[in-house]
Amino acid sequence: MRKKTGPQFLANNSQLLIPLIAILLLVIFNLIRDPGFFSVSIAANNKGDPVLQGNLISILNGASELAILSMGMTLVTAASGGQDISVGALAAIAGSVFVKVLKGGVVSGPIVIAAFLACCAVSMLFGAFNGSLVSFFRIQPMIATLILFTCGRSIAYWINGGATPTIESPIINAVGSFIPGIPVPTPILIVILMGILFALIFRFTTLGLYIQTVGINQGAARLNGINAVGIKLLSFIILGACCAVAGTIGVSRLGLINHETLLINIEMDAILAVAIGGNSLGGGKFKMLGSVLGAYAIQALTITLYAMKVPSTDVKAYKAVVIVILVVMGSPVVKDAMSRFWTKLRSKRPAAAGKEVA
């Protein structure tokens, strides 16, 4: 885990405190409950390849789609000051297109790539639809994406003609679980790849800065020569691409597309990840790392609850309690009160110490 962070790092990235504390608390809690909780072992899977196993791996692996979606969601949130609630539906559409193309012929390397590109194109198109509603027509993002939220999964159903087709192929297996010879689950590698990609984009382009500028003050950004409409549109298109990746992983994991259950409720988790990551849901400054950490914190919570034998249907209620505790801790009012309390405490202590000396 990424708990080893220096004080300097924390000073620069104080907003990462919330997800880090959340992860830390979960880690400590789990270690107290079961010291072997995070042990990672190498076992052979049913094909005889060595693979990593353990709760840590299942947390990292299970959060992959969420982490990827929360990356895109961070950009959309920062640029438009609103959230896209259609990501789950969009991922389902992308997955359907992916399967639809694969069903067209024999599954081979180039066809998988073609299918991925096709689903990328489709979901970027839908992203552009959302984005144009938000940027050209100035509709609030939540309402604009409500359209796809309502009908997205039905469109996915429609694409597959009312069926839930399955695909069997070693290539799909490699994407969804393990590449033969590499013990780390492939989704984790894809997340790392996406992370590097975004890091490079932010390092070598001004996209991040522009998105922050548009999010903080759209009018000022426009007066400074930034194409605010275009930036918003672009952020939604990027989120569309993220949905395509997440949808592909989700489909490959199971080897089938089920429009009803694929990444269900993930839009809520993705928004939550952005919020836990310390990003303002009102737009403006953002830290993508925070959202990704938030995604892992959510997954760690889920896995912890599963490990405590909580039925999967009840997990939501416990999750809600933890979320409320987290956001209450992070709320500005509580923070202010805490810091006032802290300064009071500190101002008292030297006085008391002084008295003792005297």
Partner 1 sequence: MNKLPDRSPARRREPVTDTQLLLSITICIFVGMYIMAMLIWGGGFKKPQMLFDILNDNAYLVIISCGLTIVMITGSIDISVGGVTALVAMVGVMILNGSNHLFDGLIASLGLAESWRIVFALIMSLLIGLAFGAVQGFLIAHLEIQPFIITLAGMFFARGMITICSVDPQKAPQDLMDILQKRIEIPWLGSVNKKGVLIPAKMEIGVVIAAVIVVLVFILLRRRKLGRGFYAVGGNRQSALMLGVNVRHTRFMAHLICGLLSGIAGFVFMMHTGAGNATNATAAEMNAIASSIIGGTLLTGGVGNVIGTFFGVLTLSTIKSIVTTSGLRDPWWQSITTGAMLSFFILLQSVVLMRKNRRRRKAKKAAPTNGDKPKDG
Q: Which is nearer to partner 1, 171 or 329 (CB)?
A: 329
Q: Is 7 in the site for partner 1 (CB under 8 A)?
A: no
Q: What dihedral angle (degrees, nearest 10) is formed by the CA atoms of 200, 201, 206, 208?
A: -100
Q: Which is nearer to partner 1, 176 or 269 (CB)?
A: 269
Q: Which is nearer to partner 1, 152 or 247 (CB)?
A: 152
Q: Which stretch binds partner 1 (CB under 8 A): 30-38, 105-113, 241-249, 319-327?
A: 319-327
- Provide φ and ψ at 166, rounded to 5°: -110, 155
Which member of 28, 196, 320, 353 binds partner 1 (CB under 8 A)? 320
Q: Which stretch binds partner 1 (CB under 8 A): 186-194, 206-214, 323-331, 347-355?
A: 323-331
Nearest alpha carbon to residue 66 among 234, 247, 201, 241: 247
* H/E run at residue 124: helix 109-135
Residue at 91: amino acid letter: A
User: What is the Cα–Cα distance from 68 to 162, expressed in whole angstroms?
Assistant: 28
Contact predicate 50/253, CB 8 Å: no
Site string for partner 1, 146-185 (x = CB under 8 A): xxxxxxxxxx-xx---x-----------------------
Taking the complex as a whole, how short is the minimal distance between the CB of residue 142 and partner 1, in angstroms? 6
Taking the complex as a whole, how short is the minimal distance between the CB of residue 59 and partner 1, in angstroms? 19
Taking the complex as a whole, how short is the minimal distance between the CB of residue 332 and partner 1, in angstroms? 6
Q: Which is nearer to partner 1, 28 or 324 (CB)?
A: 324
Taking the complex as a whole, how short is the minimal distance between the CB of residue 61 and partner 1, in angstroms? 23
Taking the complex as a whole, how short is the minimal distance between the CB of residue 137 and partner 1, in angstroms? 4
Which member of 6, 7, 181, 311 binds partner 1 (CB under 8 A)? 311
Taking the complex as a whole, how short is the minimal distance between the CB of residue 149 and partner 1, in angstroms? 6
Q: Which is nearer to partner 1, 62 or 152 (CB)?
A: 152
Residue at 337: amino acid letter: A
Which member of 43, 125, 281, 353 binds partner 1 (CB under 8 A)? 281
Beta bridge partners of 50: 44
The residue count of the chain comes to 358
Q: Which is nearer to partner 1, 98 or 157 (CB)?
A: 157
SS3 letters across 73-89 = HHHHHHHHCCCCCCHHH
288-301: burial string, b at 16+ Cβ within 10 Å, e else: bbbbbbbbbbbbbb
User: What is the Cα–Cα distance from 176 to 281, expressed in whole angstroms?
Assistant: 32
The 3-state DSSP class for residue 53 equals strand
Q: Which is nearer to partner 1, 157 or 296 (CB)?
A: 157
Q: Which stretch binds partner 1 (CB under 8 A): 113-121, 222-230, 243-251, 348-356?
A: 222-230
Which member of 142, 189, 256, 307 binds partner 1 (CB under 8 A)? 142
Instruction: Give the angle subtended at the CA of 73 by the CAs of 227 and 124, to the nearest 5°.
Output: 65
User: What is the Cα–Cα distance from 319 to 296, expressed in whole angstroms?
Assistant: 14
Site string for partner 1, 28-67 (x = CB under 8 A): ----------------------------------------
Taking the complex as a whole, how short is the minimal distance between the CB of residue 185 and partner 1, in angstroms? 27
Nearest alpha carbon to residue 63 among 221, 246, 214, 232: 246
- Provide φ and ψ at 50, rounded to 5°: -75, 130
Taking the complex as a whole, how short is the minimal distance between the CB of residue 83 and partner 1, in angstroms? 7
Contact predicate 273/327, CB 8 Å: no
Taking the complex as a whole, how short is the minimal distance between the CB of residue 268 and partner 1, in angstroms? 5
Contact predicate 210/269, CB 8 Å: no
Residue 354 structure tokens? 């002084």
List of residues contacting partner 1 (CB under 8 A): 83, 133, 136-140, 142-144, 146-155, 157-158, 162, 219, 222, 228-229, 268, 271-272, 275, 281-282, 311, 313-321, 323-324, 327-328, 331-334
